[in-house]
């Protein structure tokens, strides 16, 4: 493997890669040419991500694996599913999208993850973790009769394998035993010492056609002697347990092979080409290095998981704090004050802003891995025992724990605070990561309180208020920087369900703001001379202020960075109906469609959430 010291600033010369338009072009290559291709692909990946920004570390780690899979399998006829898709950039480059790769994550450019609307080589749309095995199993079952020769392969990371959904799918796979290959891409390096020596020797034996034939004939010979057959099977299982950590997968009914070196092209070619011919579910454990081939990325796997453009890396950092920094400061300060505070996150320590907390309060910090359902019920257990858990989770990932939120937290009215980062339109990661629906799916739950702070200081105020409130509370805030409002470092609270009047002008037209778009609402209300109220809470609504201002008004406009359907504006409409307030309404928010990846500003523009577009819509009604 060629090692790079830095990300290339100039487009590299890649003569062999330039010949590859589709995967079929590499299937006549020799092993030597495949090695050259891997070096060129890695260098081109480094350059292109340096130009566009995006996920880097995962893709660097699977360059060789991607090449071998497309070399051995007849894609797109054979189906290849990448879990999450952070690591799929090399896959996109080899499947006809090399010249477009610099547009990735940009408006009208390539999607940040595999997408069925983008290429036939993207067998299943992904973005959230741990879905690949379930999807692959469904595809394999559906193809069993119509296309029995079709091969099915899933690549799932060691992080994604921590989710319950992955093990549910593995259990079902072991039960129905389809002809599939599941590849565990293990880049954690916690068991890397098992690669080589005895481990590789036995992996080659177990994945060989000779062993397969002996095993099959031996099984036929020994089955009339059940004790002898089970003894032979047990010996194989115990030998595997001695040199490899695969016993659990064997017990689930899969044939475990590995671990093998995921950067050794010949080793993978030999093993996987044999596994293609095996019957039943095969589980191949591959060890890779996240960030492989780039020295800084191998040394800092978290920092190089995703990067910005090279040009922006060298720019002076902004002095503005991101919302995750506001949360980080708050939870450390709150934990100093209240020893019962416990922080929980499902594998989002850095993204959620819990690094400092984890260092200062290691005994009160729990990263439960990619297990959103467990994180919520774990919090419920802590709460019922008298602790005060704070679950730091992205809005889009809380969707995965909806039943636990209702059944285990809300029904019991437990004190669990949900810090919902990445609420609303998130930008380049696109619709799978946008947090558009938490207002709609939370406000229908009894006992739930929903806070929508408008800026950094309001976020700190509402986090404190939520933490001190009895019952489950969500505090939603967007990705990135706010309007740079000065933050009061005191741990003060606001009254639950109380709005604040921002401007009182034309009392016949009332603009109700919910959340982080207040800066737009202030501009619009000033230009059109409207009365502006920052509602602060979706549930409970401030009944007093709504009755006071809506009873004699002609029109109210609601503004939110969330789904219009079932959102905050709908809550106000319901309130007006219940209180017999006859008033026209204009609900502004995210429409009933998925908005593709772009910058957050471009996505807001597409949703009609800019000052000019908001003003235009209001003028039509006025």
Q: How many CB atoms lie within 10 A of CB 490?
A: 10
Backbone torsions φ then ψ of 559, nearest 5 degrees: -130, 125
> Of residues 42, 151, 240, 290, which has the active-site annotation?
290
Cβ neighbours for 416, distance < 8 A, ≥ 6 positions apart: 376, 379, 380, 383, 389, 390, 391, 409, 472, 473
The alpha-helical segments, DSSP class H, found in 276-409 are 295-299, 310-313, 323-337, 349-352, 355-360, 372-384, 395-398, 402-404
Cβ neighbours for 312, distance < 8 A, ≥ 6 positions apart: 53
> Of residues 92, 97, 301, 400, which has the active-site annotation?
400
- Look up 290 and say whether it is catalytic: yes
d(CA 549, CA 25) in angstroms, rounded, equals: 68
* Structure-token pair, residue 251: 């017990």
The alpha-helical segments, DSSP class H, found in 385-508 are 395-398, 402-404, 438-442, 456-468
Cβ–Cβ under 8 Å, residues 294 and 4: yes
Cβ–Cβ under 8 Å, residues 295 and 5: yes
d(CA 126, CA 34) in angstroms, rounded, equals: 28
From the list 351, 307, 297, the residue with the least C-alpha distance to 52 is 307
For 456-471, give one letter per residue: b (16+ CB within 10 A) or e.
Answer: bbbbbbbbbbbbbbeb
> Of residues 64, 102, 372, 606, which has the active-site annotation?
372
d(CA 217, CA 40) in angstroms, rounded, equals: 45
- Look up 372 and say whether it is catalytic: yes
- Asked whether the bond before 259 is cis by omega within 30 degrees of 0, the reply is yes
d(CA 259, CA 186) in angstroms, rounded, equals: 9
d(CA 418, CA 473) in angstroms, rounded, equals: 6
What is the DSSP code string of 285-300? EEE--TTTTBHHHHH-
- Look up 400 and say whether it is catalytic: yes
Cβ–Cβ under 8 Å, residues 110 and 95: no
Residues annotated as part of the active site: 290, 372, 400
């Amino acid at each position: 493997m060629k090692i790079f010291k830095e990300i290339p600033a100039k487009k590299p010369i890649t003569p062999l890669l330039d010949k590859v338009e589709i995967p079929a072009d590499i299937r006549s290559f020799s092993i030597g040419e495949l090695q050259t291709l891997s070096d060129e692909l890695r260098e081109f990946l480094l350059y292109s991500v340096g130009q566009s920004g995006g996920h880097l570390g995962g893709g660097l780690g699977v360059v060789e694996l991607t090449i071998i899979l497309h070399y051995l399998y007849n894609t797109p006829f054979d189906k290849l599913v990448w879990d999450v898709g952070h690591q799929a950039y090399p896959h996109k480059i080899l499947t006809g999208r090399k010249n477009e790769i610099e547009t990735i994550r940009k408006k009208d450019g390539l999607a940040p993850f595999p997408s069925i609307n983008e290429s036939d080589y993207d067998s299943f749309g992904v973005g959230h973790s741990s879905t690949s095995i379930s999807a692959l199993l469904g595809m394999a079952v559906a193809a069993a009769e119509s296309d029995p020769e079709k091969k099915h392969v899933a690549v799932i990371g060691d992080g994604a394998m921590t989710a319950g959904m992955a093990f549910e799918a593995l259990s079902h796979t072991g039960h129905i035993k389809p002809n599939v290959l599941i590849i565990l891409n293990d880049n954690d390096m916690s068991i890397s010492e098992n690669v080589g020596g005895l481990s590789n020797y036995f992996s080659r034996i177990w994945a060989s056609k000779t062993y397969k034939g002996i095993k099959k004939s031996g099984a036929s010979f020994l089955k009339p002697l059940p004790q002898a057959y089970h003894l032979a099977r047990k010996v194989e299982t115990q030998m595997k347990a001695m040199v490899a950590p695969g016993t659990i997968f064997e017990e689930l009914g899969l044939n475990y092979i590995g671990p093998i070196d995921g950067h050794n092209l010949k080793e993978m070619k030999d093993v996987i080409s044999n596994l293609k011919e095996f019957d039943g579910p095969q589980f191949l454990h591959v060890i890779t290095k996240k960030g492989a081939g780039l020295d800084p990325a191998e040394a800092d796997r978290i920092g190089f998981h995703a990067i910005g453009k090279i040009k922006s890396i060298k720019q002076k950092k902004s002095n503005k704090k991101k919302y995750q920094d506001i949360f980080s400061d708050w939870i450390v300060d709150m934990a100093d004050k209240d020893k019962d505070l416990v922080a929980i996150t499902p594998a989002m320590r850095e993204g959620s802003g819990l690094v400092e907390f984890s260092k200062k309060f290691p005994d009160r910090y729990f990263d439960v891995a990619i297990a959103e359902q467990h994180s919520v019920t774990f919090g419920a257990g802590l709460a019922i025992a008298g602790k005060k858990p704070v679950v730091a989770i992205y809005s889009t990932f809380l969707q995965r724990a909806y039943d636990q939120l209702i059944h285990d937290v809300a029904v019991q009215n437990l004190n669990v605070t949900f810090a919902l980062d990445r609420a609303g339109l998130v930008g380049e990661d696109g619709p799978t990561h946008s947090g558009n629906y938490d207002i709609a799916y939370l406000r229908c739950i009894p006992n739930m309180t929903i806070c929508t702070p408008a800026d950094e200081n309001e976020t700190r105020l509402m986090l404190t208020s939520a933490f001190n409130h009895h019952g489950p509370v969500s505090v939603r805030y967007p990705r990135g920087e706010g309007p740079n409002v000065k933050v009061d470092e005191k741990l003060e609270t606001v009254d639950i369900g109380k709005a604040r009047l921002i401007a009182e002008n034309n009392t016949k037209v009332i603009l109700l703001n919910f959340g982080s778009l207040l800066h737009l609402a202030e501009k619009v209300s000033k230009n059109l001379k409207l009365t502006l109220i920052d509602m602060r809470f979706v549930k409970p609504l401030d009944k007093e202020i709504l009755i006071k201002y809506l009873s004699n008004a002609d029109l109210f406009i609601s503004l939110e960075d969330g789904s219009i359907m079932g959102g905050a504006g709908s809550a106000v409409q319901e309130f007006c109906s219940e209180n017999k307030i006859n008033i026209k309404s204009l609900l502004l928010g995210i429409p009933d469609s998925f908005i593709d990846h772009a910058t957050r500003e471009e996505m807001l523009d597409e949703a009609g959430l800019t000052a000019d577009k908001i003003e235009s819509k209001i003028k039509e009604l006025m």
